């Protein structure tokens, strides 16, 4: 491995936050926008670790909430880089809700976000290539390339 490439595990981060009443509606369900904020922060941190640069969000793929997250749940976000271009980086963010008393966990959603690394003048800058170390990581990198191809094709239609 050279200085121009980094492993997936070098970018991986975990964040956990207890959901409080100010994060939720009157029924005790955490606002989707609050979870989206946490997802964006987790994805950005993984990409900053990879690029060792500031990053900005440029795209977010659809986000489907499969399970509600409630007041008192511990939200656990795991983010890692799953694709790199010349200046762009895709992060996969997995979200789980855990009951901190019982330890029961539910996968609530997965999101894919794209960021661009910036230099000191705020211009897009080149980043290291991502390197897979396992078959699972290699599969995720290939899937990331396919998602990026679809995004670029969709942008041409706009």
Query: How is the chain split into domains, by residue range?
Result: 5-157
Provide the whole-model pTM: 0.92
CA distances from 44 to 97, 113, 117, 152 (A): 20, 9, 10, 20
d(CA 129, CA 144): 13
Per-residue pLDDT of the chain (158 residues; tens, 9 = 90+): 556 899 999 999 999 999 999 999 999 999 999 999 999 999 999 999 999 999 999 999 888 899 999 999 999 999 999 999 999 999 999 999 999 999 999 999 999 999 999 999 999 999 999 999 999 999 999 999 999 999 988 877 76
The CATH class given to the 5-157 domain equals alpha beta
- Return the DSSP state at 23: G
Query: Regarding beta strands 74-84 and 13-18, do their DSSP bridges make them parallel or antiparallel, or are they unpaired?
Result: antiparallel
């Amino acid at each position: 491995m050279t200085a121009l490439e980094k492993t997936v595990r070098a970018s991986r981060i975990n964040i956990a936050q207890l959901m409080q009443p100010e994060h939720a509606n009157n029924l005790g369900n955490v606002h989707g926008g609050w979870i989206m904020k946490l997802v964006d922060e987790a994805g950005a941190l993984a990409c900053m670790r990879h690029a060792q640069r500031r990053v900005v969000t440029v795209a977010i793929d659809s986000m489907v909430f499969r399970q509600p997250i409630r007041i008192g749940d511990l939200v656990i976000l795991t983010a890692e880089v799953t694709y790199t271009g010349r200046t762009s980086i895709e992060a996969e963010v997995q979200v789980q809700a855990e009951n901190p008393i019982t330890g029961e966990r539910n996968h609530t959603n997965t999101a894919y976000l794209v960021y661009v690394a910036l230099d000191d003048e705020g211009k897009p800058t080149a980043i290291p290539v991502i390197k897979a170390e396992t078959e699972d990581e290699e599969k995720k990198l290939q899937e990331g390339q396919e998602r990026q191809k679809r995004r670029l094709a969709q942008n041409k239609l706009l």
